[in-house]
Chain A
Amino acid sequence: MPAFQIVKEKLPEGVVFLGVRGFLDAHTFEELEKAINDIFEEGIYKLVVDLAGLDYISSAGAGVFIGAIGTAQENDGNIILMKPSPNVKEVFDLLGLSQIFTFRDSRDEAAKALR
């Protein structure tokens, strides 16, 4: 099984859903960074990222979201994070990012937060 996987899906109203699985660390973060940059290049800045399948995140992984949220918000978009495991949420908490990012429990709620 690969260390890290991304599933991409287009949702209505110009929203892109990304499901990430595995380990998001200094070895794999560039894959996610490229996927997000490719979406931005299509002119899409509303993203829902499902973290439920993510087993581990380090600051290199969290850094992808830190780097991208500003660009998304400057273009009337946002990045909504979904269902992090307790271990992954703990890293966002430790970094003080839980007050900066919006977390939702379902795709519908996440899409609503982007309207």
Chain B
Amino acid sequence: MGETLKDRLVVTNDTKFLIVVRDFVSRCIRQSRLAREEENKVILAVDEAVTNIIEHGYDEGAEGSIEIEIEGTEEQFKVMIRDTGRVFNPESIPDPDMKDHVHRGHKKGLGIFLMRQIMDEVRYKFKDGVKNELTLVKFIR
């Protein structure tokens, strides 16, 4: 059994930090057993999750923090994203009909669809009075 990779990053809810989040995830993936061809996609899934929290989690102008914790093992690459913002369960959002989306010029709501397309597991948990926790898992094949 190899060692477990563990790392953690905390950013405030500002899109300027997305680049920091992506660099962090990229660094972790390169230290993990995850195949290199999955790198861009898994970075994207985490970016989409964090973007959703920045855009919808907090009231305009309110500062909040977002914690990204990564655990990599022989079997899986797991990302836990926690925030103390508004309760938001992505499981409640249906997949978009892309032709209709384009026809109507809808630009939003694609992030959750991408997360589901990319990751093997997307789980949401609300810890009462504490925080939202979204877990994204990619199995190592």
Contact = CB atoms under 8 A, between A and B. Distances in A.
Our verdict on whether A and B bind, yes or no, reads yes
Interface string A66-90: 1111110000000000000001001
B141 interface: no
B106 interface: yes
B51 A60 contact: yes
B51 A95 contact: no
B19 A23 contact: yes
Contacts of B51: 25-26, 58-60
A62 B110 contact: yes
B99 interface: yes
A87 B40 contact: yes
Contacts of B94: none
Contacts of A91: 44, 114
Contacts of B125: none
A59 B55 CA distance: 13
Interface of B: 15-16, 18-19, 22, 40-41, 43-44, 47-48, 51, 54-55, 98-99, 101-108, 110-111, 113-114, 117-118
A63 interface: yes
A62 B106 CA distance: 11
Nearest to A100: B102
**Chain A facing B: main interface SS:** helix
B44 A27 contact: no
Q: Which 7 A-B pairs have the closest CB atoms?
A: A63-B107, A27-B15, A59-B110, A96-B98, A87-B40, A26-B51, A67-B107
A90 B37 CA distance: 11
Contact of A63 (B16, B54, B108): B108
Contacts of A67: 105-107
Given A70-B103, A94-B41, 7 more contacts: A26-B15, A27-B16, A58-B18, A58-B48, A66-B107, A70-B104, A97-B102
A58 B55 contact: no
A47 to B, nearest CB: 15
B55 A26 contact: yes
Contacts of B117: 94
B71 to A, nearest CB: 23
Given A62-B110, A95-B114, A56 B102 contact: no
26 contacts: A3-B19, A25-B18, A25-B19, A26-B47, A56-B40, A58-B48, A58-B51, A59-B51, A60-B51, A64-B107, A66-B102, A66-B107, A66-B110, A67-B107, A68-B105, A69-B102, A70-B103, A87-B40, A90-B40, A91-B114, A94-B114, A95-B113, A95-B114, A96-B98, A97-B102, A100-B98
